[in-house]
Amino acid sequence: KTAFVIPTGLYEFETMPFGLTNAPATFQRLMQTILEGLVPKRCLIYLDDIIVHGRTIEQYMENLRIFLDRIRAIGLRLRPNKCQFLKQSVTFLGHYITSQGVQTDCSKLQAVQSWPTPTSAAEVKSFKKLASYYRRFVANFAGIAAPLHGLTEKGRKFLWTAECQSAFEELKAKLAAAPILGFPDTSPGAGPFILDTDASDHAIGAVLSQISPGGQEKFISYGSQEARQKERHYLLGFPFPVRTDHQALQWLSNFREADGQLARWQETLQELDYVCEYQREAQHLNADAMSRHPVPVEVVKSLLTADSEVDWGSLQATDPDLALVYARQQHGNNKPTSQEMKDMTTVARCICVRWGHLQLCNDVLYYMEPSKPPRLIVPRAKTSYVTTRMHEQLGHAGTRKTEAAIRAQFWWPLIHRDVEEFCKSCDTCARVKSPSKHSRAKLIRMVTTAPYQRVGVDVMGLFPTSQHGNRYILVMVDYFTKWCEAVPIPQQDAATIAKVFINTWIAPCGAPMAPHSGQGPAFESYLAANVCSFFGIRKTRTTAHHPQGNGLVERTNRTLKMLLRYFVHQVSAANWDDLLPQCLLEYRSS
């Protein structure tokens, strides 16, 4: 995508330049690939902003060591002056994070506080984008910002009212006094969670809080969105009260001898240890106002990863192809000499030829390539295992997809041959999949060595009836010179075609050795056979329903139709046959 041409040649960037639209996504994908398996348990990443975390000093140092090993293995570099270590608080993506919780970054909010009163819809949109980034810190954010939403509607005249000014000032004040959102405490003896909720037809609004050890209620999150299955784990296994403005929900939890749908509801809710508390609507505004602006659900699918249960290092150390390579990498990284390589297997020699791409990381041998993640080198005993696992997990995909998926994580010298042989011999694929290839006859090009030796003949139509009563065109093309004759005819019967062919082609040019046509009734008639016999012609034909067999004539028909359409558009369709000679002149002159 970065290639460009100048008079001195073709050039392409070897590294990612600034300005490309896909550059951030490409870099993020690179970081996720490099740190696969570490996120989010050991670190968090967003482009070049990375946080390595741990609950204790020992855990932090272990996570940091693993992270640095990954970075070093891939060949990336870190600037020491941009790194901070052993921090108890940190600013990350516009948030200030401490052990107490998450709060807004004061330096970013300063831009919100100093924002002048908007004078256009574009300025309102810019302010909303900045303020919405911190909407989870503001209760009833959507309700407060409602007067500003209409100002950005397409086609609406911009009119700044007192209500808009009030909403603008209130948002700035709310953001300035945004609370610290705490972390959920799931340790034994922790305080109960409190969930304030309200629901509309499409979404739920909620405030999740928890009683701290000191008896204070700390807020964990404000939100409005569609209900997600994974968020049930916040409350599963912990006793908590549910405060709601629907008193009927208390009746449901106390209902006896329920049946039907009510019984199924009760059975589902019995998984949770909750007490339903009624709260009047006037006291339930914190959750009620947030349930009218649903946020779409985003589903993230997991990626296919390598099998972590296999002890790859031990297998590599005892593999007949990798044993010497593994030992040399483990003790000094000395490449085997030419004499030593003569005694190796063919596979081992192929690996040694790529010695510069080999690297030992965490006692496992990897194959390294620029701009690609490390790929585990598979021992001979496990190539079939890896191929089988990947082929089955991909739903018995073909050779190309299976090989691509394996190459993303693994490497061995004969990977293409092994994958191809495995997919061809897979019993499940042979039973389930239909044959992808069909036997076809070998294509043979028909060669002509002289003019008028081979002539293609075809009928083009049906056209609107002209003033002369013509509705078809008989097209004749010489395969050697590409000379074309086209004659309008009233009907495509055998007598008409035979007469026109004799008068237009045989009389001035002589009888061709092998005219070639389709299998239309006029060309396969008894009269056509007699004409060919009289002139000593050996006629050939295309296969049924396969006009490609007379491709030169079909392509000429397309050109004549285009020319005829052009001239008819300028004059009239009633006399299209009078325009045919002009079309032939254009064709023969080009």
The total number of residues written for the chain in this structure = 590
- Asked if residue 81 has pLDDT above 70, the reply is yes
- Asked if residue 62 has pLDDT above 90, the reply is yes
Neighbouring C-alpha atoms within 13 Å toward the C-beta of 497: 26
485: which residues sit within 8 A by CB, 6+ positions away? 475, 476, 477, 504, 505, 584
- Phi, psi values for residue 474, rounded to 5°: -90, 115
Same domain as 226, residue 169: no
The predicted model gives 43-51 an average pLDDT of 89
- CATH number of residue 559's parent domain: 3.30.420.10
CB of 501 within 8 A of CB of 510? Answer: no
Number of domains in the chain: 5
CB of 172 within 8 A of CB of 115? Answer: yes
Spell out the SS3 assignment of 393-462.
HCCCCCHHHHHHHHHCCEECCCHHHHHHHHHHCCHHHHHHCCCCCCCCCCCCCCCCCCCCCEEEEEEEEC
CB of 399 within 8 A of CB of 420? Answer: yes
For 181-239, what is each residue's pLDDT tens digit? 888 887 777 888 888 776 554 445 677 788 877 777 888 877 655 455 566 677 777 78
The verdict on residue 507 lying in a domain is yes
Range of the domain at 161: 102-176
Same domain as 155, residue 77: no
Question: 63: pLDDT confidence band, cut at 50, 70 and 90?
Answer: very high
Buried b (16+ CB within 10 A) or exposed e, 93-114: eebbbeeeebbbeeebbeebee
The verdict on residue 443 lying in a domain is no
The verdict on residue 352 lying in a domain is no
Q: Which helix (H) or strand (E) holds 311?
A: none
The verdict on residue 372 lying in a domain is no
Token pair 């035979």 in the structure block, residue: 498
| CA Rg value for the chain | 39
Same domain as 279, residue 170: no
- State both tokens at 444: 């043979």
Same domain as 490, residue 579: yes
Q: Which helix (H) or strand (E) holds 266?
A: helix 260-269
21: which residues sit within 8 A by CB, 6+ positions away? none
For 8-38, what is each residue's pLDDT tens digit? 888 988 888 888 888 888 888 988 888 888 8
- State both tokens at 584: 């032939």
Distance of CA 337 to the CA centre of its chain: 46
Mean pLDDT score of the chain: 81
The verdict on residue 149 lying in a domain is yes
- What SS3 class is residue 473? strand
The CA distance from 284 to 301, in Å, is 36
CB of 178 within 8 A of CB of 138? Answer: yes
Same domain as 573, residue 466: yes
290: which residues sit within 8 A by CB, 6+ positions away? 139, 140, 141, 142, 143, 198, 205, 206, 207, 222, 223, 224
Q: Which of 137, 53, 132, 55 is nearest to 103 (CA)?
A: 137
> CB count, 10 Å around CB of 239?
11
For 381-426, what is each residue's pLDDT tens digit? 888 889 998 888 888 888 889 999 898 889 888 889 999 998 888 8
Question: 552: pLDDT confidence band, cut at 50, 70 and 90?
Answer: confident
Between helices 121-132 and 162-176, what is the axis angle to 10°?
Answer: 30
Same domain as 470, residue 556: yes
Q: Which of 436, 470, 505 is the last residue of a domain?
A: 436
The CA distance from 23 to 1, in Å, is 11
Same domain as 255, residue 283: yes
- Let me know the angle formed at the C-alpha of 459 by 489 and 566, rounded to the nearest 5 degrees: 80
The verdict on residue 241 lying in a domain is yes
Q: What is the predicted pLDDT for the residue at 185?
A: 81
Burial class (CB in 10 A: 0-12, 13-18, 19+), 66: middle
The verdict on residue 182 lying in a domain is no
The verdict on residue 319 lying in a domain is no
Q: Which of 252, 267, 288 is the last residue of a domain?
A: 288
Same domain as 79, residue 52: yes
DSSP assignment letter at 364: E
Q: Which of 226, 255, 288 is the last residue of a domain?
A: 288
Same domain as 170, residue 280: no
Same domain as 554, residue 490: yes
For 125-160, what is each residue's pLDDT tens digit? 888 888 878 877 877 777 777 788 778 877 778 888
Of the candidate ranges 151-160, 489-498, 535-544, 575-584, the one whose mean pLDDT is the lowest: 151-160
Q: What is the predicted pLDDT for the residue at 363?
A: 83
Same domain as 386, residue 481: no
Q: Which of 251, 161, 151, 242 is nearest to 194 (CA)?
A: 242
- CATH number of residue 124's parent domain: 3.30.70.270
Long-range contacts, 522-530 (Cβ 8 Å, 24+): 522/459, 522/492, 522/493, 522/494, 522/496, 522/497, 523/457, 523/497, 525/494, 526/494, 527/494, 527/495, 527/498, 528/494, 528/497, 528/498
Same domain as 204, residue 167: no
